[in-house]
Amino acid sequence: MDIFDAIVVGAGPAGCAAAYTMAKAGLNVLVLDRGQYVGAKNMWGGAFFGPVMNELFPGFWKEAPVERFLSRHVISFMTKEDCLSVDFKSSHGDFDAAPGFIILRARFDRWMGGKVEEAGAIIATGLEVTDFIFEGNQIKGVKVGDEDFLANVVVLADGVNSLLATKAKLRSDFKAIDLKQGVKEVIRLPREVIEDRFGVTGNEGVVMEFVGSCTRGLPGGGFIYTNKDSLSVGVVVQLNALLKNQVKASDLIDEFKEHPAVRPLWRNGETLEYSAHLIPVSGIEMMPKLYADGIVVAGDAAAMVLGTGLILEGANFAMAAGIAAGETVIRAKEKGDFTSSSLSNYEQLLKSRFVLKDLETFRRAPHFLENPRIYNAYPELACGLMRNIFHSDGKPRKNTFETLWKSMQGKVSLWQIAADAMKARKAL
Amino acid sequence: MEIIVCIKPVLDPELPPAKFAVDGKKNEVIPPEGMPFVMSPYDALAVEAALKIKEAKGGKVTVLTLGTKFTEDVMRKAVAMGADEGFILNDAAFDGSDSFATAYILTQAVKKIGTFDLILCGRQAADWDAGVVGSAMAEYLGVSLVVRAKAIEVLDGKLKVERMMTNGSEVLDVPLPALVTLSSEMGQARIPSGRGIIIAARKQFSKWGAADVSAEAAKTGLAAARNSLVKLFIPAYQRTCEMVTGKDPAEAAALLAEKILAIKP
Amino acid sequence: MDNNKIILVVGEMEKGKTASITRELLGGARALADQTGGEVDLVLFGEAAASLAAEGIALGADKVLVASNAGYAEFNSDGYTAFVCDQCTKIKPALCLMGQTDLGRDVAPRVAARLGVALAMDCIAVDFDAENGRFLQTRPAFGGKALSVMASTTGLLQINTIRAKSMAAATPQDGRTGETIALADAPSAGAIKVKLIEAKRMEAEGVKLEDAKIIVSGGGGLGGPDGFAMIKELADLLGGVVGATRVPVDENWVPLSMEIGQTGKMVSPELYIAIGISGAAQHITGCINSKKIVTINRDPDANMFKISDLGLVADYKVVVPVLIEKLKAMGQ
Ligand SMILES: Cc1cc2nc3c(=O)[nH]c(=O)nc-3n(C[C@H](O)[C@H](O)[C@H](O)COP(=O)(O)OP(=O)(O)OC[C@H]3O[C@@H](n4cnc5c(N)ncnc54)[C@H](O)[C@@H]3O)c2cc1C
Ligand SMILES: Cc1cc2nc3c(=O)[nH]c(=O)nc-3n(C[C@H](O)[C@H](O)[C@H](O)COP(=O)(O)OP(=O)(O)OC[C@H]3O[C@@H](n4cnc5c(N)ncnc54)[C@H](O)[C@@H]3O)c2cc1C
Ligand SMILES: Nc1ncnc2c1ncn2[C@@H]1O[C@H](COP(=O)(O)O)[C@@H](O)[C@H]1O
């Protein structure tokens, strides 16, 4: 059995980007994924930003199964009854000018997998990598059950639950405090209905994010993305908070769907699939060692996710890291040196790309986002004020503001708001 | 033994009903996004049966598929399991072929391959559930036929085949060449090894069109279909389920007992 | 239809009697013939069958063709196929009905291929479309997830195999007259390639699932043979029979003869109790014709509930014993 230049574990964005980069450079690459087919179990909200993808596959949207492009972005604060939204719509041309894209992983990953195979890499699905083959400290390949596969370098892109990263002694298991739990439903709706309800036409798409009661005030939020003829509806919640408060994410998504402001959006739609997945959100602070003798790690497996706002930016980072990993291996091959010293180049490449820079810049964001006030006090305050402006109940307004303030007593104070605003400026 | 196995890519038959959709205007199924078709499970059993015979008696296993979507995937699956080579039948002229046209085209391909002792098919393709193509091929080739087999044994130039019957089974004496269709009772198909999958990934399959297998246009495609599809739809079950509840399972069960007695004939 | 209006029914025997499927085919054929103004011919195999000819006529046949030669006593695909082909070429029927049985599954596709005529397998309905002068064939597809309606485009003979219990069985009418023709020729030796070495019959003891009024069915959720012992007790109390899905059969908890569904038996009892069954299409297709369906499943979203009249979300291990006690108490 031949020795591959590289074995990539995981055919997600990170793994595909790495494999594609290496295969294009003529390396002999094997990609192993445990899913029955590429993209089988993969899920995400569905919005991602184009540049890296475009660097990898120029003009990808022309052939890739992209659902819609981002033309409208809505951020909403919700309490049990109310919902206050900031709605941004920009009517720039079409895909080519789009800042971001909405996709469904199953289709998109499959397309990327096709590209990777065209480039000459072998993708073998239905194979779960269970361990590494060590020669001293040098990783020489991987084990799938009792089968061995040899390679000069292993690119580890097996996602957030990476058991292998720990086996390679790159990190210990992620802690609940550093993870968010995402649950999502895909709900089928006719194209026309989507366009009516969300005020879009053609390929325009909407990303909606919700903060507040949708997570029962726990750190996280709800989201809705418009696909071609379905919606992605879900919630993302701090895992630790879920465990501490014994809340089930599946219950939260049901509540979220039933919220008076949300229900009308998916009404009469038929749920096609339900999925749950973890997200590493503590950024640079939870990032493991990125390389060792004969191995580099990329994507969620290395916690390369940016969770500044509610939008989760993982795919970009995963792909950028994948490219960097690929380039690292290509150079290592030129040098014929696959030890950690040669692979250390990976970290430089990541720095020169935005990946580590951004994650460094937003180092504080995760902590800021743990602030409970964002998820209960502020939505209540905001909605309270609006309710107040709209409902005239005869009383002079001033008093009602006061009562509102009283109602907020103990939840938030003026100086806290000021302080949070400062923090926000620093963190974001 | 020269064995030819006919395999068909189908929408995963284990797909939950909730994900199954039909386009009422086009009268066709809408497959879920991104989900590739799988080898029809009975066909996987046919491949398994072929490999078992090859392991016992030596020989060669060739797989054939006719279609447009995911044919490479099922070919690779078969090779990963251990099949030696495969041919894909693909031509615009084949589109819309019914069971008999399909059987005709596959028969032409078999003739092009030339020598064979045994052809294996599934008892039915797990999409339209017809169970016709194998039998029709046997008729066109004029070879012996056994349908719904659970076990095949090669004994001095003949086959000993056990086939399923509603109330048991029959053991049959079958002269070669023969066509046998496999039923689920035959057991489980093997899961490909990693090595197998990698060998399969590198495999190239030659594609044959109508001309390559000298298939007459009049006998293939929609025009040759003996039935026209008037309507395809998802049956609506007019039932509303009354959920029995109680303060605890025991109480609910007691309630259910009463309700069952009420409707019991 | 430029050929004549005969509907040919291929009959079967069951323990020396006219098979229930044949009664159903005669019922359906007669109804259609009365619309097309055609005649119903019945084919029967083996000398023994001759004794059923009269009943065949009482059940609606106008002509009974008996393949009386000893060579037809036992089912043989090659021989039966040749015989049916001969009859079809001779009498040129417009429609030929067989059961979706061992015989029909085997012979129908071969006859259609040999004669180059239209075929639809496993139909649950055949209707006469008077204005277009054609028969519409309805059959499940995709494991029962969908129904398809098809029409022959050939204008020639159309062959359909019919799923058990989908046509109303004919009731015998004494006084009906008809003609019986014995065809004594032996099957031509050359025609027969495949020969029977041994028949392994495993008759399900007691009431057959197909005829049961009450069925208590268990699935993968029962977790093992013990679970089936439990629901057997329930079935006995109710005077019912135990059925199963594919999973317990594959796991060898129960014999194959208990499997209900696409690759198993088609049942239509008055009462069908599904315990630990998810409700996959291939199972539902086999029990959907039950009058009342009751489901016990611990998963509230189990598809089985969607086709049920009564449902209980619970662990069967907890509720079935109570159910049994209650029924005992209520004097069952
Ligand atoms: C609810 C939710 C919403 C999100 N929304 C967005 C969004 O809108 N935008 C965005 O950019 N990002 C989003 N993300 C984050 C994004 O999905 C991830 O950051 C990204 O998928 C990471 O890619 P990856 O290749 O590192 O890992 P993955 O995409 O998880 O891929 C890992 C692959 O490895 C395979 N694998 C795992 N273990 C093994 C093994 N032992 N052997 C073989 N194969 C294995 C898996 O099958 C999988 O295919 C979201 C995530 C969630 C959960
Ligand atoms: C071509 C083809 C043909 C097939 N033909 C048939 C056929 O003829 N007949 C057939 O039945 N299947 C057939 N199948 C298989 C079918 O697709 C399903 O796999 C099968 O019916 C599932 O059986 P099940 O629901 O019993 O098991 P599962 O799918 O495992 O479901 C078990 C159910 O039990 C519930 N459960 C578990 N534990 C408990 C508990 N303690 N208490 C209560 N409930 C519990 C679970 O919630 C679940 O809903 C066929 C499949 C294919 C591909
Ligand atoms: N398009 C096809 N390509 C290859 N084999 C086929 C095809 N269609 C049917 N078959 C074979 O014929 C069997 C019965 O198919 P069907 O008659 O369509 O139910 C299948 O199990 C396959 O073995």
- HEC assignment per residue over chain C: CCCCCCEEEECCEECCEECHHHHHHHHHHHHHHHHHCCCEEEEEECHHHHCCHHHHHHCCCCEEEEECCHHHCCCCHHHHHHHHHHHHHHHCCCEEEEECCHHHHHHHHHHHHHHCCEEEEEECEEEEEHHHCEEEEEEEEHHHCEEEEEEECCCCCEEEEECCCCCCCCCCCCCCCCEEEEECCCCCHHHCCCEEEEEEECCCCCCCHHHCCEEEEECHHHCCHHHHHHHHHHHHHHCCEEEECHHHHHCCCCCHHHEECCCCECCCCCEEEEECCCCCHHHHHHHCCCCEEEEEECCCCCHHHHHCCEEEECCHHHHHHHHHHHHHHCCC
Given this model, what pLDDT does residue C1 score? 37
Give the pLDDT confidence of A81-114 residue by residue, as tens digits.
Answer: 888 888 888 766 666 667 788 988 888 899 999 9
Residue A53 host element (H or E): helix A51-56
CB contact under 8 A, A122 and B194: no
DSSP state of A282: S
Which residues in A lie closer than 8 A to residue B18 (C-beta atoms)?
Answer: 270-272
Could you tell me if A197 and A255 lie in one domain?
yes
Please name every residue paired with B169 in a beta bridge, in sequence order, or none if there are none: B164, C200
Does A271 lie at the interface with B, CB-CB under 8 angstroms?
yes
Of the candidate ranges A145-154, A393-402, B156-165, C112-121, the one whose mean pLDDT is the lowest? A393-402
Tell me: do A257 and A297 sit in the same domain. Answer: no
Residue A296 has pLDDT above 90, yes or no: yes
User: Helix or strand or coil: residue B95?
Assistant: coil
A99: burial class by Cβ within 10 Å (0-12, 13-18, 19+)?
A: middle
Rounded-to-integer distance, Cα B88 and Cα B109, Å: 10
* Residue nearest to ligand 3 atom 14, measured at CA: B124
Name the residue facing B194 among A106, A149, A271 (closest C-beta): A149
Convert the pLDDT of each residue in B246-257 to its tens digit.
Answer: 999 999 999 999
- The three-point CA angle A181-A110-A303 to 5° equals 35
CA distance C309 to B59: 55
Q: Is the CB of B121 under 6 A from ligand 3?
A: yes
Query: pLDDT tens-digit profile of C181-234?
Result: 999 999 988 889 999 999 998 776 677 898 899 999 999 999 999 999 999 999
> What is d(CA C245, CA C263) in angstroms, rounded to the nearest whole number?
10
Write out the two tokens for C154.
């050939």
How close is the Cα of A409 to the center of ligand 1, in Å? 42
- Dihedral class, residue A59 (left if φ above 0, else alpha if ψ from -120 to 50, else beta): left
Give the Cα separation of B202 and B57 in Å (integer): 27
A187 & A158 share domain: no
Kindly state the average pLDDT of the residues B48-63. Answer: 97
Instruction: Tell me what pLDDT residue A364 has.
Output: 65
With 60 as the cut, is the pLDDT of residue A397 above it? no
Q: Which of C149, C197, C279 sits opposite B231 (nearest CB)?
A: C149
Using the mean position of ligand 1's atoms as its centre, give its distance from the Cα of residue A159 in Å: 5
Q: Which of A280, A310, A327 is the last residue of a domain?
A: A280
Question: Residue A241 maps to which CATH number?
Answer: 3.30.9.90
Instruction: Name the band, by pLDDT with cuts 50, 70 and 90, for residue C244.
Output: very high
Residue A362 lies in a domain: no
Q: Residue C77 phi/psi, 5° resolution?
A: -55, -50
Task: Kindly state the helix (H) or strand (E) to which residue A191 belongs, with its residue range.
Answer: helix A191-198
pLDDT band at residue A426 using 50, 70 and 90 as cut-offs: low
> Does A238 map to a domain?
yes
Are A8 and A152 in a shared domain?
Answer: yes
For ligand 1, whether the C-beta of A308 sits within 6 Å is: no
Average pLDDT over residues B165-179: 94
Q: Is the pLDDT of residue A379 over 80?
A: no
In tens, the pLDDT along A219-250 reads 888 999 999 999 999 999 989 999 999 999 98
In this structure, how many other beta carbons lie within 10 angstroms of the beta carbon of residue B17? 18
Give the Å distances, CA to CA, from A331 to A15, A334, A337, A342, B96.
Answer: 18, 5, 9, 8, 51
Q: How many CA atoms lie within 13 A of B64 on its CB side?
A: 28
Q: Are A23 and A149 part of one and the same domain? A: yes
Nearest of C130, C127, C129 to residue C139 by alpha carbon: C127
Render pLDDT for B83-124 as a digit per residue (tens, 0 to 9).
Answer: 999 999 999 999 999 999 999 999 999 999 999 999 999 999
Task: Look over chain A and give the mean of its residue pLDDT values, rounded to a whole number.
Answer: 85
- pLDDT of residue C60 exceeding 60, the answer is yes
**What average pLDDT does chain B have?**
95
Please count the CA atoms within 13 angstroms of the CA of A362 that sit on its side-chain side: 20
How far is it, in rounded angstroms, from Cα B94 to Cα B67?
8
Beta pairing, strands B206-208 & B85-89: parallel
Facing residue for C109 by CB, picked from B13, B136, B162: B136
Which residues in chain A are closer than 8 Å to B81, comparing Cβ atoms?
none
Residues A55 and A167 placed together within one structural domain of the fold: yes
The partner residue sitting opposite A147, judged by closest CB among B191, B195, B201, is B195
Contact B35 A109 (CB under 8 A): no
Share of chain A above pLDDT 70, in %: 83
State the CB neighbour count (10 A cutoff) for residue C31. 18
| C-alpha span between B133 and A13 (Å, rounded) | 42
Task: Please say whether the beta carbons of C316 and C275 come within 8 A.
Answer: yes
Residue B87 in contact with ligand 3 by CB distance below 6 A: no
Match 């030890």 to its residue by tokens: A339
CB C123 within 8 A of CB C162: yes
Say yes or no to pLDDT of C2 above 60: no
Are both A22 and A163 inside the same structural domain? yes
Residue A70 domain-assigned?
Answer: no
Closest to C94 (Cα-Cα) out of C43, C137, C42, C36: C36
Q: Which helix (H) or strand (E) holds A370?
A: helix A365-370
Question: Could you tell me the pLDDT band of residue B52, with boundaries at 50, 70 and 90?
Answer: very high
Amino acid at B151: A
Average pLDDT value for residue range A271-289? 85
The residues pairing with B170 across neighbouring beta strands, listed in sequence order, are: B163, C199
Q: Does A131 touch chain B (CB under 8 A)?
A: no
pLDDT at residue A400 in the model: 58
| pLDDT number for residue A427 | 63
Q: What is the dihedral of CA A236, A240, A244, A245, to 10 degrees?
A: -10
| Last residue in a domain, options A264, A280, A296 | A280
DSSP 8-state assignment for residue A215 = G
Ligand 3 neighbourhood includes B99 CB (under 6 angstroms): yes
- Ramachandran category for residue A191: left, alpha or beta (phi over 0 → left; psi -120 to 50 → alpha): alpha
What is the pLDDT at residue A286? 81
Element (H, E) at B261: helix B249-263
CATH number, domain containing residue A161:
3.50.50.60
Q: Which helix (H) or strand (E) holds A348?
A: helix A345-352
Q: Is the peptide bond before C93 cis (omega within 30 degrees of 0)?
A: no
Which of A391-405, B140-154, C92-106 is the least confident region?
Answer: A391-405
Question: Would the CB atoms of B29 and C146 count as touching at under 8 Å?
Answer: yes
Q: How many CB atoms lie within 10 A of CB B214?
A: 9
Does A79 fall in a domain? no
Q: What are phi and psi of C165, to 5 degrees?
A: 70, 15
User: Tokens 């964001």 identify what position?
Assistant: A365
Distance of alpha carbon C32 from alpha carbon C63, whole angstroms: 16
DSSP 3-state of B170: strand
Collect all residues with Cβ–Cβ distance below 8 Å to C257 and sequence separation of at least 6: B167, C202, C204, C209, C265
ipTM over 0.95: no
Q: 């060898």: which residue's tokens?
A: C252
| Residue C288 to residues B95, B244, C257, C265, C293, Cα–Cα distance (Å) | 34, 21, 19, 12, 8
Report the pLDDT value the prediction gives residue B84, as an integer from 0 to 100: 97
From the CA of A45, the nearest ligand is 1
Would residue A74 count as lying in a domain?
A: no
Res C144 pLDDT > 90? yes
Note whether B146 contacts C194, CB cutoff 8 Å: yes
pTM of the predicted structure, to 2 decimals: 0.88
Partners of C195 in the β-ladder: B173
Asked if residue A99 is part of any domain, the answer here is: no
Report the distance separating Cα C25 and Cα C99, nearest Å.
7
The reply to whether A398 falls in a domain is: yes
Residue B228, classified by CB atoms within 10 Å of its CB into exposed (0-12), middle (13-18) or buried (19+), is middle
Does residue A412 sit in the same domain as residue A312? no
How high does pLDDT run on average in chain C?
A: 93
| Pocket flag, ligand 3, residue B133 (CB < 6 Å) | yes
Q: What is the pLDDT of residue A4?
A: 96
Task: Say how far residue A155 (Cα) sits from the centre of its chain.
Answer: 20
**Residue from A343, A319, A417 nearest A56 by CA:** A319
Contacts of A2 (CB under 8 A, 6+ apart): A28, A150
Q: Are residues A185 and A299 in the same domain?
A: no
Strand A147-156 relative to strand C158-162: parallel, antiparallel, unpaired? unpaired
Q: How far is CA A323 from the centre of its chain?
A: 18
On the question of pLDDT at A385 being above 70, the answer is no
Q: Give how many domains chain A has, as a whole number.
A: 3
Interface of B with A (CB under 8 A): 18-19, 21, 32-36, 191-195, 197-198, 201-202
Residues A8 and A143 in one domain: yes
Predicted pLDDT at C83: 96
What confidence score (pLDDT) does residue A424 get? Answer: 66
Please check whether residues A329 and A198 belong to one and the same domain.
no
Expressed as residue numbers, the domain containing A422 is 368-427
CA A300 to CA A278: how far, in whole Å?
A: 9
A264 and A206 in a single domain? The answer is: yes
Of the candidates A280, A311, A329, which is a domain's last residue?
A: A280
Q: Is the pLDDT of residue A1 over 70?
A: no
| Element (DSSP H or E) covering residue B262 | helix B249-263
Domain membership flag for residue A86: no
DSSP string covering A79-118? -SS-EEEEEEE----SGGG-SEEEE-HHHHHHHHHHHHHH
Quote the tokens at residue C296.
């016990």
CA–centroid distance, residue A158 to ligand 1 (Å): 8
Kindly state the average pLDDT of the residues A18-41: 94
